[in-house]
Structure formats: C-alpha cells, structure tokens
C-alpha cells in the first residue's frame, strides 16, 4: 500500500467527521502504546517479581492477589514476564525497522536518483527478495548464521528492506519531480548533498508514517520467529517466546500462559496500526 492510497482515503473522508470519529480509539491506542513503552522503560521498577524468578510451589497458579495474571509452568509471574518482555519485543521491532530502513531507503533513493540501469538492477534485486516469503527467507538466514536475537533482527530486516525500498523509490520519484530539486541542481549542489540535506528531510514525514504502520507488522513477525524458536532464547520473556513456552500447558488445559502474551501482541499490533494510519494521514497532509 502506498502513501497515495492513504491520501486518497483521507481526501474522500469528510474532515469534520473524521475528527469526531477518531479520537476515542486513537487515544485508547496511544494509551496502550504508552503503557507498553513505559513497561519497557521502567520494567525493573514496576514489575512485582523478577521475570525469571521460579516458584515450584505456584506452578500454573490461576490469577489472584499474589499473581494478577497467574503463573506459568515454572511458577513465574506472567505479569512480570509481560512487563519485562516489552523491552526485547519493542526494541527488537525497532532494531529490525532501523536496519530495514537504512537499507531500504538507500536502495530506494539511489534507484530514484540514478534511474536508468541502476534503477532496473535494484528493481530486479528487490523483486527477487520479494519473491521469497519473508519468514522462509529469514529461516534461510538463520540456517546459515545460527539462531539468536541478532540474527532474527538482521534476517527480518533484510526481508522488510524491499518493502521500504519500493515505497521510498515511489515517494522519492515524486519528490524529485518538484521544482526545488532542479533549482538546487542549477545552483551546483552535488547529488549526495542534495539527497542528504534536502531530499531526505522532505521524505521523512511520509516515510515515518509508513514505518509506524510497518512497526506492528515487524513486531508480529519477530514474535512469530521467536515462537518458532529462531530468535530469543529462554529465559528471555520476549512475548513470542512466552507464547511458545506456554504451549506446554495448552495440552493440559492451561491456556493463560500462551493466550495472555498472544493477546498482548495482538493488542499492541492493533494499537500500532491505528496510531500509524492516523499519523501517516496527518503527516501526508502536511507534505
């Protein structure tokens, strides 16, 4: 989906009606993200227990005053693990987007700037990367470089890079067609300087809106990788890994340890998407 599509949606919706309808869900989603970020930042201060604190006398305890969300198969407090798990979960998604953005923006801007054969080669390169399903591509990377959080982030970053490259190329082409670019060229500003100092700052608002939407997808993809055992390793309380570890209880009827982190991932991803779409609407209108 390109930013133009968002723009079209925005244009077709009556502005006044949108303002009335959005704030309630938008504010709720911002609050959810705020809580998630606060949990990530202040985890050691707000979590009632250490995330790896086992208690064999409280295995699979139901929610109660001592453990608000119950405990898992090792008697670890699920709430504390969720709070501590916010950090690797959110940081992982940020790191993968940062890596994918650096690579994707480089490819997109170079393709748009140079055009010609460079554009064609880079377009085919991204097409090839597109041809592989993202998860399969990452599993291939992990098979070569062994599993671990860093490999998962880099692998998933490589899978996301073509998306960002295509998007960046599209908006960069639109931006390069504007008169100020020719004006700078006529003044003798060099290519690298023009792109770094003038083009990229103008692309940023649109790009950031798109990246916020991608953040939810990145978070979910990383959680899926961790669920499959390719990323974070125990005793990490990364949310995808928590779902995977909680599976042992599902067969015995204890759904909480798997369902609670799963719901948390779903809620944060939905909140990110709601905030991201609205943010990209706003940022796209400004440009």
Partner 1 sequence: MTKQRLSRRLAAGTATCATFVLVAGCGGSAASPSQAAEQARQKVQLVDSTPAATGPLDKATWFMPKEPATLDLDNDAAGATTDTVMSNICERLVQVQPDLTVKPWLAEKYEWKTPETVVFTIRKGVRFHSGNEMTADDVVWSMNRHAADGANESDEYENVSKVEKTGPDEVTVTMKQSDAVFMKALAGTGGVVLERKAVEDQGDAFGTPSGDDACTGPMELKAWDSGRQIVLTKAANYWNQERAAKTGELTIRWADDDAVVNSLLTGEADGAYLENIASATRLAGGPNTTVSQGPDTRVWSSMVTERGGLADVRLRKALSLALDRDGVSRAALAGLGVPAAEPVGPGAWGYEADKFRAASEKLAAGAPAKPTPENIEAAKKLVAEAGATQQIVVASDGTTGRDVIANAVVDAARKIGLDARIIQIPPQQYGDYYSDAEFRKQADLFTDDYFISKNDPVGFYKNGASDATVQWVLKDPEYDALVKQAKAELDDAKRADLAIDLAQRWADAMPWLSVVQSPTTVVLAGEVTGVPASGAFRNYPWAADLGAKGK
Which residues are near partner 1 by CB under 8 A?
A: 24, 54, 56-57, 59-63, 69-70, 73-75, 78, 146-147, 229, 233-235, 245, 248, 250-256, 259-260, 263
Residue 139 Cβ, how far from partner 1 at the closest point, in Å?
14
Closest CA to 87 of 190, 269, 240, 237: 237
Residue 241 Cβ, how far from partner 1 at the closest point, in Å?
9
Residue closer to partner 1 by CB (options 108, 246) is 246
Residue closer to partner 1 by CB (options 107, 271) is 271
Residue 258 Cβ, how far from partner 1 at the closest point, in Å?
9
Residue 226 Cβ, how far from partner 1 at the closest point, in Å?
11
Residue 155 Cβ, how far from partner 1 at the closest point, in Å?
16
Residue closer to partner 1 by CB (options 46, 50) is 50
Residue 71, helix vs strand vs coil:
strand
Residue 227 Cβ, how far from partner 1 at the closest point, in Å?
12
State the Cα–Cα distance between residues 162 and 165, nearest whole angstrom: 5
Residue closer to partner 1 by CB (options 72, 175) is 72
Angle between helices 200-227 and 256-286 (to 10 degrees): 170
Closest CA to 156 of 171, 140, 172: 140
- The length of the chain, given as a count of residues: 287
- 132-169 burial, b at 16+ Cβ within 10 Å, e below that, comes to eebbebbbebbeeeebebebbbbbbbbbbbbbbbbbbb
Residue closer to partner 1 by CB (options 5, 252) is 252
Residue closer to partner 1 by CB (options 84, 147) is 147
Residue closer to partner 1 by CB (options 70, 85) is 70
Residue closer to partner 1 by CB (options 34, 190) is 34
Residue 49 Cβ, how far from partner 1 at the closest point, in Å?
14
Region for residue 52 given its phi and psi (left: phi exceeds 0; alpha: psi -120 to 50; beta: otherwise): alpha
Residue 76 Cβ, how far from partner 1 at the closest point, in Å?
9
């Amino acid at each position: 989906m390109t930013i133009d599509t968002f723009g079209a949606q925005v244009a077709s919706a009556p502005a006044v009606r949108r303002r009335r309808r959005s704030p309630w869900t938008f504010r709720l989603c911002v609050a959810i993200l705020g809580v998630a970020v606060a949990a990530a930042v202040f985890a050691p201060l707000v979590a009632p227990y250490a995330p790896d604190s086992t208690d064999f006398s409280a295995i699979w305890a139901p929610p109660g005053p001592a453990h608000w969300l119950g405990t898992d198969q090792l008697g670890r407090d699920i709430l504390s693990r969720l709070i501590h798990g916010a950090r690797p979960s959110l940081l992982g998604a940020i790191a993968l987007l940062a890596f994918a953005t650096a690579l994707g923006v480089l490819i997109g801007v170079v393709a748009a700037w140079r055009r010609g054969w460079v554009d064609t080669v880079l377009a085919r390169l991204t097409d090839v990367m597109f041809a592989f399903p993202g998860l399969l591509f990452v599993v291939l990377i992990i098979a070569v470089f062994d599993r671990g959080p860093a490999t998962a982030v880099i692998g998933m970053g490589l899978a996301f890079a073509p998306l960002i490259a295509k998007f960046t190329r599209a908006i960069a082409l639109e931006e390069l067609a504007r008169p100020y670019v020719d004006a700078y060229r006529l003044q003798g500003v060099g290519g690298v300087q023009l792109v770094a100092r003038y083009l990229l700052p103008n692309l940023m608002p649109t790009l950031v809106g798109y990246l916020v939407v991608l953040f939810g997808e990145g978070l979910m993809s990383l959680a899926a990788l961790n669920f499959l055992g390719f990323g974070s390793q125990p005793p990490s309380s990364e949310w995808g890994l928590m779902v995977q570890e909680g599976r042992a209880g599902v067969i015995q009827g204890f759904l909480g340890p798997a369902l609670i982190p799963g719901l948390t991932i779903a809620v944060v991803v939905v909140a990110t998407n709601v905030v991201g779409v609205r943010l990209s609407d706003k940022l796209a209108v400004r440009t």
